[in-house]
Chains A and B, each alone.
Chain A
Amino acid sequence: MNYAATFHTHLAALRSYKRLSAAGVSARQAPVPRSLSSSCGTCVLYQYHQPALDLLDGDLEAVYQMTTEGYQLIHQNEE
């Protein structure tokens, strides 16, 4: 399944990308999709059989599953 994870900082996205990649998860960094946020931060897009929350940085904002209908929120950290 395809996921998009958004973060409070670019560093958190970078760390998460590195951890996912090190674990063999197909991942890449990208600008946060406009439909998810007005912020111009960095997100991580990845493919895995589950959201892999344990591999994502503590400054995680939210994780969305990418479906044919669009982005579906599946996890959100407290603000």
Chain B
Amino acid sequence: MNQRGFLKQYGLPVLTGLLVGGAAVLLTLLGNPKNMGFCIACFLRDIAGALNLQRAGYEAELGSGIVQYMRPEIVGLVLGSMAIALFKKEFRPKGGSSPMIRFLLAVFVMIGALVFLGCPLRMVIRIGGGDLNALVGLAGFIAGILIGIFFLNHGFSLKRAYKQSYAEGMTTPVLMLLLMLVLLYAPALLASSRSGPGSMRAPVLAALAVATVIGALAQRSRLCMVGGIRDAVMFRDFRLVSAFLAIIVAVLIGNLITGSFKGFSFADQPIAHTDGLWNFLGMTMVGWGSVLLGGCPLRQLILAGEGNTDSGITVMGFIAGAAISHNFSLASSAAGIGAGPVAQTMILGFALLAAVSAANLERVEV
């Protein structure tokens, strides 16, 4: 491949990855939690909190839980994707591909992510930040993706999506816009943490602006943490996984420049625990479920912005999963895994993934 060909193939994914990594470092400098400049699972969990669907760590004297905030980053990603999709005439409302199954899968993907403490995007940000627990998570994530690929290659399908109305396709972006307007003009309607990770936040408009740019770039590059590994394994296509690596490089360099990098270690990493088994299994669930869903949580937000209502339903499943996770004490913390029935729920989740995978197999040879 010559230089021009290389740039054409890898230029946009690598640029997007570098900017996502840079944005994560910038948002951390501006106030977001460490190694959590950009985390789709964490931020959707915070939104579940803002809507009072969960009040984890509620402190009566403060009147709030510790992970409640209407994160503008999520709004920005969806609206950035929508704006560029409209501009490029790629806003095509479609849906109807097993929405209930997608909702259930999303619930358990979120539960797995909160056992690990992060979505695939935060996993790579944590790796760039020196958190070796995230490497254990990556191993689990790859294992989960390989299981998903096995079923894809043996005829797994959630069936095709069909064209939907413009109004249906606009539902998720409009919902996000409305939540943003409430945050800006009637914030008292939303719960808001006064302590804990939910109280650590970049300025609203800065977070919205950064995420809008990232949303647009992610739409153009089809950035997807799951898709990167899936394409590399299935097609020996390394374009998306190059973005994955670019994020790690950008975060590492950014943390070195800002002095946030404290070396590679398992212990004392920000908002992370050292239980290797659960770090592995949490991300296995995320990887497997995300392959069945056709993309990681970030990708689902971007697709929802393009008018994909199946992805919109999936995002709702993530929010529901976050609420369940915290209300039943399934989410981990820096102290370790949650005090609730984590093992039982994870067994249930893996059983559900297996059942969905098997029940949706069709004959490949016809």
Contacts and interface: CB of A to CB of B under 8 A. Distances in A.
Interface string A16-34: 0011000000000111001
Contact of B160 (A14, A40, A59): A59
Nearest to B153: A14
A79 B162 contact: yes
A40 B229 CA distance: 13
Contact of B159 (A9, A34, A40, A79): A9
Given A8-B160, A8-B161, A38-B219, A30 B237 contact: yes
Nearest to A30: B235
Contacts, number: 59
B262 interface: no
Helix, strand, loop or mixed for chain A's interface? mixed
A11 interface: yes
Interface in A1-55: 8-12, 14-15, 18-19, 29-31, 34, 38, 40-42
Please classify how large the interface on chain A is, using the bins under 10, 10 to 19, 20 to 34, 35 or more: 20 to 34
A42 B153 CA distance: 12
A11 B364 contact: yes
Nearest to B161: A8
A8 B240 CA distance: 21
B234 to A, nearest CB: 7
B156 interface: yes
Contacts of A12: 160
A11 B365 CA distance: 10
B85 interface: yes
B352 interface: no
Interface string B219-248: 111101001000100110101100000000
B362 A40 contact: no
Interface string B108-128: 000000000000000000000
Contacts of B237: 30-31
Contact of B364 (A14, A29, A30, A38): A14
Contacts of A38: 85, 88, 90, 219, 222, 306
Contacts of B63: none
B159 A14 contact: no
Nearest to A17: B364
5 contacts: A9-B157, A11-B155, A11-B156, A38-B88, A40-B240
